[in-house]
Amino acid sequence: LIKKETYLPLKNKKVVITAGGTKERIDPVRYITNDSSGKMGYSLAHAARDLGAEVCLISTSKTLKTPYGVALVSVETAEQMHQAINAEFKEAAIVIMAAAVSDYRPDHVANKKIKKSEQEMTLTLVKNTDILATLGSQKNDQFLIGFAAETHNVEEYAQGKLKKKNADMIVANDVSKPYAGFNKDTNEVTIFMKDEQPIELKVKSKQAIAEEILAVALTKMKK
């Protein structure tokens, strides 16, 4: 009798992934948002599932196809995203903040459409909670991965975010490059971790990038 074994390093582990840009409503027909297709997050969900994880994908996307076997939680705002993560955080082995979370939201949401007038209009924005930094201050053994989409000074900003948010890994991409970042199927990233040399992943599919990010995380996680 031949016993076949499949090595699934994330079996019996929960991986929580956020994806997409949050939408912060101004009124019933308007909102502010961030560029982000959600593709990187969905590729990560796919890759984590293939490694045997129980995957929870918290997403703002209304168009991308959820990979089979992945549990989807649909959200719109940063506050909803934060609440959804809080419900999963304790049991999570890995949390990946691939979402583009809006840094600000309108100070209140008008429940009726705002009509135009002859005057200028001023919108007051209040700060959203930094979800990744909050998780960083609360974590026990969760391996916390953040992203940083930058247009300049990539290394400096990414290292700063790693430290300030108490993340275990920051995946940085230079979105000024034509083949990296928003709504593309390819990406090129640099992985930053504490006390480690940066790891550069040259341009390849988001799926391949996702697999490599998880492979690196696995080498660094407490067993």
147 labeled binding residue? yes
For β-strands 14-19 and 143-150, DSSP reports them as unpaired
Please choose which of Ca ion, ligand CTP, none residue 148 contacts, taking the beta carbon within 5 to 8 angstroms, the exact cut-off set by kind. ligand CTP
Residue type, 195: D
What is the number of H-type helices and E-type strands within the chain?
5, 12
- Residue 171 CB, shortest distance to Ca ion, in Å, is 15
Chain centroid offset of residue 83 CA: 15
Are residues 16 and 96 in contact, defined by beta-carbon separation less than 8 angstroms? yes
Q: Is 103 a binder of Ca ion (CB under 5 A)?
A: yes
103 labeled binding residue? yes
Tokens 């992943």: give the residue. Answer: 201
Select 132 or 217, whichever has its Cβ closest to ligand CTP: 132
Binding part of the chain for Ca ion, among 70-78, 95-103, 143-151, 152-160 by CB under 5 A, reads: 95-103
Please choose which of ligand CTP, Ca ion, none residue 144 contacts, taking the beta carbon within 5 to 8 angstroms, the exact cut-off set by kind. none
User: In the annotation, is 187 catalytic?
Assistant: no
- Residue 53 CB, shortest distance to ligand CTP, in Å, is 19
Among 94, 48, 51, 99, residue whose Cα is nearest residue 73: 99
Catalytic residue numbers?
A: 34
